[in-house]
């Protein structure tokens, strides 16, 4: 009997969906979900929970007992590297952790688990769950500046009918999608549907894709890091959908931003650390970029003193573009599918490589 413990606050009861997956696989599991032991959500799909909440002494003892007997954890306590370290230290029988974030790999890397523990532990992420909403946000940003939303809003605020001017099109534009995970693939598909020419950037450009094979729908060409600088010079837009790793930190720095044409737009729906914030501000101030669309920043929250807040050609979402009211349901379904594969001896989806961070 495998003990499965729900370690993250949810807006729904996942036990029936999980139990059905176990039955389909012919397995045996005890699913432990005790909402009273989990911090309340502050908003939909808040898997951290209220940071001010504390368990009473008896509840904390009960919680520690649950963790000590856990073999499969759905969610990381506190949705943080510290929570993962604490979980591993308490749950001696732990074999697999299903994260609720696409960035679970980053949490694993920052947890810096002992090598012997990390080697025996399987960690999976929620990659792909946020692909559609983030791809839609990326398209919103690309369209906003192609159609000069800042000029339109300025004219509206001034009640002024300006002379006509030509707007840009996504059709026949060249978009670089940096990162070809779920978000990047969906963004590429949507860009291609608008008639854009899409180049994809990935760490290993020749690597086949488990879902799509070597060819990715909507992507005309896949390049590696060694070709990035040449590609940037011909791009009308860049959509960064990369994880936060040492390799991607500051990838789009001042030198690379300067390679883009002055009409180019930068969209970041991956991790804030991928785009050098100071270099981005400098490029915008110098008129070397048309605009920027950011769902993520570095740091987060973005300080009120940041000049990014006060620019009409910058659109900022407070890391909320991925959030949808049905996110918990989709993450539960992902976990249920993975649990069915677990009992059937199949390959799990979204297994994190601790060495590369995703």
Half-sphere exposure of 138 (CA within 13 A, CB side): 30
For the segment 214-265, what is each residue's pLDDT rounded down to a tens digit?
Answer: 589 999 999 999 999 999 999 999 999 999 999 999 999 999 999 999 999 9
Asked if residues 70 and 96 have their Cβ atoms less than 8 Å apart, the reply is: no
Of 271, 330, 349, 355, the active-site residue reads: 271
For the segment 154-171, what is each residue's pLDDT rounded down to a tens digit?
Answer: 999 999 999 999 999 999
Give residue 84's pLDDT.
97
Model confidence, pTM: 0.91
Going from the N-terminus, what domains does the chain have, and what CATH number goes with each? 2-128+325-344 (3.40.50.720), 131-316 (3.40.50.720)
Collapsing DSSP to helix, strand or coil, 83 comes out as: helix
For the segment 4-36, what is each residue's pLDDT rounded down to a tens digit?
Answer: 999 999 999 999 999 999 999 999 999 999 999
**Average of per-residue pLDDT across 43-69:** 97
Question: In sequence order, what E strands does 114-262 have?
Answer: 122-124, 174-178, 197-201, 221-223, 237-240
Catalytic annotation present for 319: yes
Of 288, 319, 330, 341, the active-site residue reads: 319
């Amino acid at each position: 009997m495998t003990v499965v413990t729900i370690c993250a606050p949810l807006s729904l009861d996942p036990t029936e969906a999980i139990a059905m997956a176990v039955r389909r696989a012919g397995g045996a599991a005890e699913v432990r979900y005790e909402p009273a032991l989990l911090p309340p959500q502050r908003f939909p799909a808040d898997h951290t929970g209220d940071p001010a909440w504390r368990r009473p002494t008896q509840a904390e003892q009960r919680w520690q007992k649950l963790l000590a007997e856990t073999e499969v954890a759905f969610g990381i306590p506190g949705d943080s590297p510290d929570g993962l370290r604490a979980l591993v230290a308490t749950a001696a029988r732990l074999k697999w952790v299903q994260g609720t974030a696409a960035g679970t790999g980053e949490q694993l890397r920052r947890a810096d688990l002992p090598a012997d523990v990390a080697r025996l532990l399987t960690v999976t992420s929620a990659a792909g769950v946020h692909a559609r909403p983030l791809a839609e946000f990326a398209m919103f940003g690309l369209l906003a500046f192609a159609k000069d939303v800042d000029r339109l809003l300025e004219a509206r605020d001034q009640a002024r009918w300006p002379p006509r001017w030509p707007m840009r099109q996504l059709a026949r534009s060249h978009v670089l999608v940096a990162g070809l995970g779920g978000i990047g693939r969906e963004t590429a598909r949507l860009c291609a549907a608008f008639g854009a020419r899409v180049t994809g950037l990935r760490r290993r450009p020749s690597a086949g894709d488990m879902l799509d094979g070597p060819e990715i729908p909507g992507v005309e060409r896949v390049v590696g890091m060694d070709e990035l600088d040449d590609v940037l010079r011909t791009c009308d837009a860049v959509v960064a959908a990369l994880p936060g790793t040492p390799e991607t930190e500051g990838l789009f720095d001042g030198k690379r931003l300067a390679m883009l044409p002055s009409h180019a737009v930068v969209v970041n729906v991956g991790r804030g650390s991928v785009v050098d914030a100071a270099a981005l501000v400098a490029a915008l101030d110098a008129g070397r970029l048309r605009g920027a669309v950011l769902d993520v920043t570095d740091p987060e929250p973005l300080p009120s003193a940041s000049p990014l807040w006060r620019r009409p050609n910058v659109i900022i979402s407070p890391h909320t573009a991925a959030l949808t009211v049905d996110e918990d349901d989709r993450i539960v379904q992902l976990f249920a599918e993975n649990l069915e594969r677990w009992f059937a001896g199949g390959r799990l989806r979204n297994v994190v490589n601790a060495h590369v961070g995703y």
